[in-house]
Chains A and B, each alone.
Chain A
Amino acid sequence: MKSFDRRLQKDLFPKTPAAFRETVSRSIGSVCGQAAPSDNTVVRFPTTENDAKPARKKTNLFTRIGTVAVAAVLVISLLAVGTIAVLARRTTTNPAASANEQPESTGENVVVSDPTEPPKASAEPETVNTVYAATADEFLAAIAPDTEIILTRETYNLTTASDYGADGGQYYTWKAVEDGYELVLHDLDNFRLIGSENTQILTDPRDAAVIRVGNCTDITFMNFTAGHKLLPYVLCSGPVLELSDCTNTRIENCGLFGCGRVGVSASGCSGLSVVGCDIYECSNEGIDLFECRNVVIDACKLRDCGLRKLSDDVEPYGASDMVFIGECEHIIISDCDVYGNKACSVIGCAGSKDVILYGMLVYDNTLDDVISIEDAEMTVFGCEFRHSGDFLYKTSYPYTILDQFGNEIGETELREMQLERDPYAS
Chain B
Amino acid sequence: MNKARTDAWFSREIESMSDTLFRVAFSILRNYADCEDAVQSAILKAYQNLDTLKERAYFRTWAVRILKNECFALLRKQRTIVPLSEQTDVNYEMEVPDLDLNRAFDVLSPEERLTITLYYYEGYKTAEIAKLTDVSDSTVRNRLSRARAALKEQLTKRSVFDEVL
A residues with a Cβ closer than 8 A to B are 4-5, 7-17, 20-21, 23-28, 30-37, 41-43, 45-48, 50-58, 237, 261, 283-284, 310-311, 314, 317-320, 344, 348, 350-351, 368-369, 372, 374-375, 393, 395, 397
Segment 13-36 of B: residues with Cβ below 8 Å from A: 14-15, 18-19, 21-23, 26-27, 32, 35-36
With CB as the reference atom, state the residue of chain A lying closest to B94.
A14
Query: Given the interface contacts A8-B151, A16-B18, A31-B47, does A320 sit within 8 Å of B120 by beta carbon?
Result: no
Cβ contacts under 8 Å, B5 to chain A: 43
Does more than half of chain A's interface fall in helix, strand or loop, or is it mixed? Answer: loop
A-B contact count (CB 8 A): 192
Cβ contacts under 8 Å, B6 to chain A: 32
With CB as the reference atom, state the residue of chain B lying closest to A284.
B125
Cβ contacts under 8 Å, A52 to chain B: 60
- What separation, in Å, do the CA atoms of A391 and B34 have in the docked complex? 43
Cβ contacts under 8 Å, A54 to chain B: 123
Q: Are B9 and A45 in contact (CB under 8 A)?
A: yes
- What separation, in Å, do the CA atoms of A93 and B119 have in the docked complex? 39
Q: Are A36 and B22 in contact (CB under 8 A)?
A: no
Q: Are A7 and B101 in contact (CB under 8 A)?
A: yes
What are 8 A-B pairs with beta-carbon distances under 8 A?
A8-B120, A27-B43, A42-B8, A283-B125, A344-B138, A350-B145, A374-B145, A393-B138
7 further contact pairs, Cβ within 8 A, besides A20-B18, A310-B58, A344-B138: A12-B96, A28-B14, A31-B47, A55-B121, A55-B123, A374-B145, A395-B146
Distance in Å: Cβ of A344 to nearest Cβ of chain B: 5
With CB as the reference atom, state the residue of chain A lying closest to B61.
A50
Does more than half of chain B's interface fall in helix, strand or loop, or is it mixed? Answer: helix
With CB as the reference atom, state the residue of chain B lying closest to A327.
B148
The reply to whether the CB of B77 lies closer than 8 angstroms to some CB of chain A is no
Q: Which 4 A-B pairs have the closest CB atoms?
A: A53-B123, A11-B98, A36-B15, A11-B97
- What separation, in Å, do the CA atoms of A426 and B38 have in the docked complex? 58
The reply to whether the CB of B39 lies closer than 8 angstroms to some CB of chain A is yes
Interface size counted on chain B using CB atoms at 8 A: 66
Cβ contacts under 8 Å, A45 to chain B: 9, 56-57, 59
Cβ contacts under 8 Å, A55 to chain B: 120-123
| Among candidates B40, B60, B95, B141, residue contacting A14 with C-beta atoms closer than 8 Å | B95
Cβ contacts under 8 Å, B23 to chain A: 13, 16
The reply to whether the CB of B134 lies closer than 8 angstroms to some CB of chain A is no
Cβ contacts under 8 Å, B71 to chain A: none
Query: Given the interface contacts A46-B57, A317-B125, does A37 sit within 8 Å of B12 by beta carbon?
Result: yes
- What separation, in Å, do the CA atoms of A101 and B134 have in the docked complex? 50
Distance in Å: Cβ of A148 to nearest Cβ of chain B: 35
Q: Are B126 and A34 in contact (CB under 8 A)?
A: no
| Among candidates A9, A20, A311, A375, residue contacting B145 with C-beta atoms closer than 8 Å | A375
Q: Are B32 and A20 in contact (CB under 8 A)?
A: yes
